[in-house]
Amino acid sequence: MVILTALLLLTAANLAVSRKTICPTNATSCSACITANVKCAWCSELDYSRGPRCLPLNKLQKGSTCPDEHIVSPERVSVTITKAREVRRNRPITPQMVKLHLRRGAKANIPFRVKAKTTPVIMQFRYPRGVRVTVQADCMGFQWKKKIAKCRTTNGNVVNVTMTVHMKRCLPKPKKIKVIVGSFKKRPLKVLLTSACRCDCEKPEEAVVESTLCHSQGTHACGLCLCNEGRYGRHCECQGTGQAVGQCIGRKMTAQCSGRGDCICGMCHCNSISSASPVRYTGRFCECDDTACAYHQGQLCGGRGRCSCGQCICNDGFSGEDCSNDMSVDKCKSPATGLICNGHGQCVSNQCMCEPPYAGVRCEECPTCPGQCQRLKDCVMCFAFVSGAFNQEECRQRCEHLEIHLVDDVAVMERGGPNYRMCLLRDEDNCFFKFAYAARGRMRVRVERTRMCP
């Protein structure tokens, strides 16, 4: 089990290494791309936006849409050997001059022959920093240590030597590698070494200054516009500094325009509704969409408003996070008093929330409140005896919330009915009249039709 676990971990590690990107996909120039790895190539097409410009050569050729004529991949190794006219008979090394052009990271083998004048043959190697040299030779007892190679051989024999040159980093200017045999210091092998650390399309003679492709405000080189001061953008179409691009990134969003739009001249142009994406994005950084709001009864903003940047903007008369609160008060307003919930409650979603001990649709009921008989007096008098403070129109409007019945004897209660409270009052004729009231939903009032007059 332990062995199996170790194998699985090793396999996972190998996969992670194999998937490691060898070319910087975020490279901002052709030179930065080709010097990152000897396998990297660059796409110099101006409007190329279908993937990274910097990829391994094989992927750029087969796995991208970059035209072949726009693929920049300098030759990895170039070796030139001088002609034999410069070779003299008494020189112990052949050839005497080699021109070597390498990309950063590339290796090249330089074969040469050494004719033994003494034994052992001693070869000294001098090369600059940033270059690694290793040597092999077909002689017995070959030794290579501290830039010195030794061979045991017979005088007059020819030793075949292979020098491997590895370009570890870019050289700012051409350098020389010298191989000196024995005491023949004036007759060495010279290798003139240059490094391919700059794309030809970036050289001054290849770049186009004030190019129309860059709105005549920059230099076009290797598919990129190098904008003049005070201009920026893919085609130098924007005025200002390149820092304006940062205006398209919010404090808490890592992606430009939240990944939902394009940054054009420092402003986010958000993606609009399409068949592929029915969502409309808004906001300075395209951080909002029109569906990220609260739902009520299966509808966005309860069907009573619109969604704006995660917040419901409710229609008139509605409120709340999901616009579920009905702010109209027509069902809470008392026709008798004109007060909201008769002044004994609050109107929430067009319904009265009564304060105890009040009850009823508009908080008009309070069976346990003292003075309830006096509150009902005017409605009872106008309805039963056509008298009192209300005329007929006022009686109809202000007493419609009551259910009033005339009876012969209020003391006779219906079976199963509510518990009535008795009232005995005196009217303006100095007559007594009796009625009883009970609160069950709508206020019910029973009025004895005969008054008791002196």
331 or 242, greater pLDDT: 331
And the tokens for 169? Answer: 């980093």
Count CB atoms within 10 A of the CB of residue 34.
27
Domains and CATH numbers, the chain: 77-196 (2.60.40.1510), 212-288 (2.10.25.10), 290-326 (2.10.25.10), 372-448 (4.10.1240)
pLDDT of 379 higher than 90: yes
pLDDT tens by residue, 124-143: 999 999 999 999 999 888 99
Res 192: pLDDT: 93
Sign of CA dihedral 190, 195, 200, 204: negative
Which residue matches tokens 């992670």?
A: 16
Q: Is the pLDDT of residue 82 over 80?
A: no
What's the pLDDT score for residue 106? 92
pTM metric for this prediction: 0.51
Give the least confident one: 18-27, 110-119, 297-306: 18-27
Q: Give the residue, 103 or 50, on which the prediction is more confident.
A: 103
DSSP string across 243-284: GGGGGGS-TT--SGGGGSEEEETTEEEE----SS--PPEEST
Least confident of 83-92, 207-216, 244-253, 407-416: 83-92
| CA distances to 279, 384, 420 from 451, in Å | 74, 10, 19
Residue 88 has pLDDT above 70, yes or no: no
- Label residue 440 by pLDDT band (50, 70, 90): low
Q: What is the pLDDT of residue 244?
A: 54
By C-alpha distance, which of 226, 190, 194, 208 is closest to 74? 194
- Dihedral sign for Cα 10, 15, 16, 17, please: positive
pLDDT band of residue 447 (cuts 50, 70, 90) is very high
Side-chain half-sphere exposure of 410, counting CA atoms within 13 A? 23
- Which residues have a Cβ under 8 Å from the Cβ of 340 and sit 6 or more positions away? 329, 332, 333, 334, 346, 347, 352
Cβ atoms of 324 and 302 within 8 Å: the answer is yes
The stretch 426-439 carries a mean pLDDT of 87
Q: What is the pLDDT of residues 176-230, one digit of tens each?
A: 999 998 878 878 889 999 998 888 888 888 889 999 989 999 999 998 888 898 8
The string of pLDDT tens digits covering residues 21-35 is 789 988 888 999 999
Percent of the chain that is helix, strand, coil (3-state, to 5): 15, 35, 45
* pLDDT averaged over every residue in the chain: 83
User: Angle at the Cα of 436 (from 430 to 442), degrees rounded to 5?
Assistant: 130
Q: Tell me: pLDDT of 173 over 80.
A: yes
